């Protein structure tokens, strides 16, 4: 299989997962890649990261396009999550002379994943010389696991940063400028929203450490998706800086709901229209058909969140409850919200939604709008007034 040059001394030898459609609950409509890189010096060759077990054959085939895998001298494990680490033992078997290194936390994790397998720890003070080509290391704890690490090749100015700057995007092309920078940035946003959103502070700290170390990458080579080079590097860095800043939120409301007999659906559409009438951007999602990954993509910069559900068995529908559980894990900060919904013989959903929002850290700024049975014209007008009040609070919160 074809390997792809990344820079003078670095070659992409990873795997393309065209059929991936779910990444622990995150819908991946464009598939993904598991990127690995060969770094060649005059004396030694290093392999940066490995792949999922079922893709080891693909990885070794691409390595063989460049060299005999048995001649690899070093394997660097930047992250121990199974999509990068589960194939490690098989790769080691094909590279019997290779020294294996990881962060200190990664060393412990590898031993736990692979039945006591012992590898060496490297850290920020370590430099490995491959013969005129060197590798520097930077622990990147919680970007996005405790063991995460960045590896940098200063001679080629290439940053191999594992999940940071990644996207779930399968393609025959290896670079953002080849698939289209706008497409790559869109998938970068979806990935950040669904995986790195709760870790913005940690991402910012690690990027500050990259700058403090004097690393100045002209290429960013992540473990998923396409590689950033040229002007695309600056755009990717600017996107991360924007999403992690205190000014990321804007006057925008995301309305997320589920419905049984369309009463809550009517309310949702009325509420969304009323918010939009106040000059506030709106995105509307019915959880029966919407992708959670795309909802989170919109929540990334939305200041206001409205959740709607009819009452079933004194509580909210399971779709709404499930989505709020996803949201709890992603820990959005700085958002305000409210609940709306309908009921038949007994209410309870909107109260439960409000309580869950408070637990998540979303500030509930007004009483819920709760409707019995199908709303009349007057009741829809009342819902409009309620939503207009919420839109005003969104704008006020942004001042």
In a shared domain, residues 167 and 294? no
Range of the domain at 224: 4-243
pLDDT of residue 25: 83
d(CA 355, CA 366): 13
Asked whether residue 1 carries a pLDDT value surpassing 90, the answer given is: no
pLDDT of residue 76: 98
Strands 26-27 and 22-23, by their bridges, are antiparallel
Active-site residues, by number, are 24, 79, 81, 83, 144, 163, 191, 224
Using the CB atoms, write b or e for 45-75: b if 16+ within 10 Å: bbbbbbbbbebbebbbebbeeeeebeebbbb
Tell me the average pLDDT across 183-207: 95
In a shared domain, residues 203 and 320? no
**Number of domains composing the chain:** 2
Domain C-terminal end among 243, 275, 298:
243
CA terminus-to-terminus distance, the chain:
55
Percentage of the chain beyond pLDDT 70 is 100
pLDDT of residue 22: 93
pLDDT of residue 211: 95
Domain C-terminal end among 243, 269, 301:
243
In a shared domain, residues 204 and 331? no
pLDDT of residue 20: 96
State how far the alpha carbon of 33 is from the alpha carbons of 9, 40, 77, 102, in Å: 21, 22, 17, 21
Asked whether residue 119 carries a pLDDT value surpassing 80, the answer given is: yes
Give the confidence band of 367 by pLDDT, cuts at 50, 70, 90.
very high
Q: Which tens digit of pLDDT belongs to each residue from 86-99?
A: 999 999 999 999 99
Asked whether residue 210 carries a pLDDT value surpassing 80, the answer given is: yes
CATH of the domain at 283: 3.40.50.360
In a shared domain, residues 110 and 43? yes
Strands 311-312 and 315-316, by their bridges, are antiparallel
Q: Which tens digit of pLDDT belongs to each residue from 249-286?
A: 999 999 999 999 999 999 999 999 999 999 999 999 99
Tokens of 320: 């709404």
Domain C-terminal end among 243, 266, 283:
243
pLDDT of residue 247: 85
CATH of the domain at 46: 3.60.15.10
Per the prediction, the chain carries an average pLDDT of 96
Radius of gyration of the chain (CA): 24
pLDDT of residue 355: 97
In a shared domain, residues 10 and 149? yes
In a shared domain, residues 14 and 107? yes
pLDDT of residue 347: 86
Asked whether residue 345 carries a pLDDT value surpassing 90, the answer given is: no
Q: Which tens digit of pLDDT belongs to each residue from 21-54?
A: 999 888 999 999 999 999 999 999 999 999 999 9
In a shared domain, residues 25 and 152? yes
Q: Which tens digit of pLDDT belongs to each residue from 328-343?
A: 999 999 999 999 999 9
In a shared domain, residues 30 and 153? yes
Give the confidence band of 235 by pLDDT, cuts at 50, 70, 90.
very high
CB atoms within 10 A of CB 347: 18
Asked whether residue 176 carries a pLDDT value surpassing 90, the answer given is: yes
Strands 22-23 and 311-312, by their bridges, are unpaired
Reference 61, options 10, 6, 14; nearest CA is 14
d(CA 150, CA 140): 6
Asked whether residue 241 carries a pLDDT value surpassing 80, the answer given is: yes
pLDDT of residue 106: 97
pLDDT of residue 120: 97
Provide the 8-state DSSP code for 192. I
Asked whether residue 391 carries a pLDDT value surpassing 80, the answer given is: yes
In a shared domain, residues 72 and 89? yes
Q: Which tens digit of pLDDT belongs to each residue from 126-157?
A: 999 999 999 999 999 999 899 999 999 999 99
In a shared domain, residues 72 and 204? yes
In a shared domain, residues 338 and 381? yes
Give the confidence band of 4 by pLDDT, cuts at 50, 70, 90.
very high
pLDDT of residue 246: 77
In a shared domain, residues 311 and 187? no
């Amino acid at each position: 299989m074809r390997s792809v040059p990344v820079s003078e001394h670095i070659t992409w030898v990873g795997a393309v997962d065209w059929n991936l459609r779910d990444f622990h609950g995150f819908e991946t409509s464009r598939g993904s890649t598991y990127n690995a890189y060969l770094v060649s010096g005059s004396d030694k060759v290093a392999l940066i990261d490995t792949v999922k077990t079922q893709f080891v054959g693909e990885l070794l085939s691409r390595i063989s396009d460049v060299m005999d895998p048995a001649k690899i001298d070093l394997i660097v494990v930047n992250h121990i999550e199974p999509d990068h680490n589960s194939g490690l033992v098989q790769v080691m078997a094909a590279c019997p002379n290779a020294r294996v290194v990881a962060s200190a936390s990664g060393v412990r994790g590898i031993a736990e994943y692979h039945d006591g397998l012992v590898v060496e720890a490297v850290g920020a003070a370590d430099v490995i010389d491959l013969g005129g080509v060197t590798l520097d290391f930077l622990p990147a704890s919680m970007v996005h696991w405790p063991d995460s690490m960045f590896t940098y090749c200063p001679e080629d100015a290439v940053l191999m940063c594992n999940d940071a700057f990644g996207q779930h995007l399968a393609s025959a092309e290896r670079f953002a400028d080849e698939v289209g920078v706008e497409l790559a940035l869109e998938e970068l946003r979806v990935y950040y929203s669904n995986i790195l959103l709760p870790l913005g502070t940690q991402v910012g700290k690690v990027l500050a450490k990259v700058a403090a170390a004097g690393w100045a990458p002209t290429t960013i080579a992540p473990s998923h998706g396409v590689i950033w080079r040229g002007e695309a590097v600056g755009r990717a860095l600017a996107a991360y800086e924007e999403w992690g800043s205190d000014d990321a939120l804007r006057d925008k409301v995301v309305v997320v709901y589920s419905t049984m007999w369309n009463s809550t659906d009517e309310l949702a559409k009325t509420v969304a229209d009323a918010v939009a009438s106040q000059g506030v951007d709106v995105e509307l999602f019915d959880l029966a058909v919407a992708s959670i990954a795309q909802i989170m993509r919109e929540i990334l910069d939305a200041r206001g969140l409205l959740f709607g559900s009819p009452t079933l068995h004194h509580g909210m529908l399971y779709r709404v409850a499930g989505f709020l559980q996803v949201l709890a894990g992603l820990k959005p900060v700085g958002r305000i919200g409210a609940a709306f919904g309908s009921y038949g013989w007994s209410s309870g959903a909107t109260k439960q939604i409000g309580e869950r929002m408070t637990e998540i850290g979303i500030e509930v700024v007004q009483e819920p709008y709760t409707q019995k049975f199908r709303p009349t014209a007057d009741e829809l007008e009342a819902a409009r007034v309620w939503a207009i009040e919420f839109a005003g609070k969104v704008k006020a919160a942004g001042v």
